[in-house]
Amino acid sequence: MSLPHAILTALLEKPSSGLELTRRFDKSIGYFWSATHQQIYRELGKLEAEGLIRTLPAEQPARGQKKSYEVLPAGRAELARWTAAAQDPKTMRDPLLLRLRAAAMVGTAGLEDDLRRHLESHRRQLAEYREIERRDFPPDRDAPQDRLRHLVLRAGIDLETFWTQWLTHALAEFAELPDAD
């Protein structure tokens, strides 16, 4: 996924200012595609220059007023093209897994505490995702757009479930290792 496509998606969901986009990234898209305030503003300028979005006319012109953006037909077409294009799965790169592999050669000092820290972080994220699911996806909410958004959230729930189970297993393995740091 690329930042321009994440922004086009967010703007199609709701025309927004850069600040509103940043806030929405923090609350939804940012769970699986993060971007800084500066990256979002820089990308908005590029998308506008490419004719994919436009600044909405202000109701009352005022100096310093925040700009809001909407997607133009060319932006919708680009997002549809990108959505339909084939893409290979992304190879996982996780420093924690590499550190565990290295620990087999140099010892496990410090890793058990870090595994616990990771486990707590994944447990918190899983609880947050489950709360979002409870709040935003009641059983009667089954419009196609809702079902697809829920599917994305389910991916997050399933990934966090995997990590909490795997980290619990890893800590059990650590408990059985001889003290050979």
pLDDT at 36: 87
Q: In what order do the strands lie in the sheet with 53-55?
A: 16-17, 68-71, 53-55
141 lies in a domain?
Answer: yes
Residues 79 and 141 in one domain: no
Q: Is residue 102 part of a domain?
A: yes
Examine residue 171 and state whether it is found in any structural domain, yes or no: yes
Q: What pLDDT shows up at residue 61?
A: 61
Q: What is the pLDDT of residues 109-165, one digit of tens each?
A: 989 999 999 999 999 999 999 999 999 999 888 899 999 999 999 999 999 999 999
Residues 40 and 79 in one domain: yes
Residues 101 and 69 in one domain: no
76 and 101 co-located in one domain: no
Same domain, 49 and 111: no
* Higher-confidence position of 181 and 118: 118
Q: Token match 């060319």: residue?
A: 74
pLDDT of residue 169 exceeding 80: yes
Q: Map tokens 């650590």 to a residue.
A: 174
pLDDT at 35 (0 to 100): 86
Residues 142 and 105 in one domain: yes
Name the domain boundary from 84, 103, 133: 84
In the listed set 30, 64, 84, which residue is the last one of a domain according to the structure? 84
Task: Using the predicted structure, report yes or no on whether residue 60 has a pLDDT greater than 70.
Answer: no
Q: Rounded CA gap, 66 and 149, in Å?
A: 28
- Are 139 and 114 part of one and the same domain? yes
Whether residue 87 is predicted with pLDDT greater than 80 in this model: the reply is yes
- Dig out the tokens for 155 from the structure: 């991916």
Q: Is residue 89 part of a domain?
A: no
With respect to residue 181, please indicate whether it lies within any of the assigned structural domains. no
pTM of the model: 0.80
Residue 64's pLDDT is: 63
User: DSSP state, 91?
Assistant: P
Tell me: the pLDDT tens digits for 1-55?
589 999 999 999 999 998 899 988 888 887 888 888 899 999 999 999 999 999 9
Number of helical H runs and strand E runs in the chain:
7, 3
One domain for residues 45 and 109: no
pLDDT given for residue 171 in this prediction = 96
Whether residues 80 and 7 fall in one domain: yes
The residue segments making up the domain with residue 106 are 95-176
> Number of folded domains in the chain?
2
131 and 72 both lie in a single domain: no
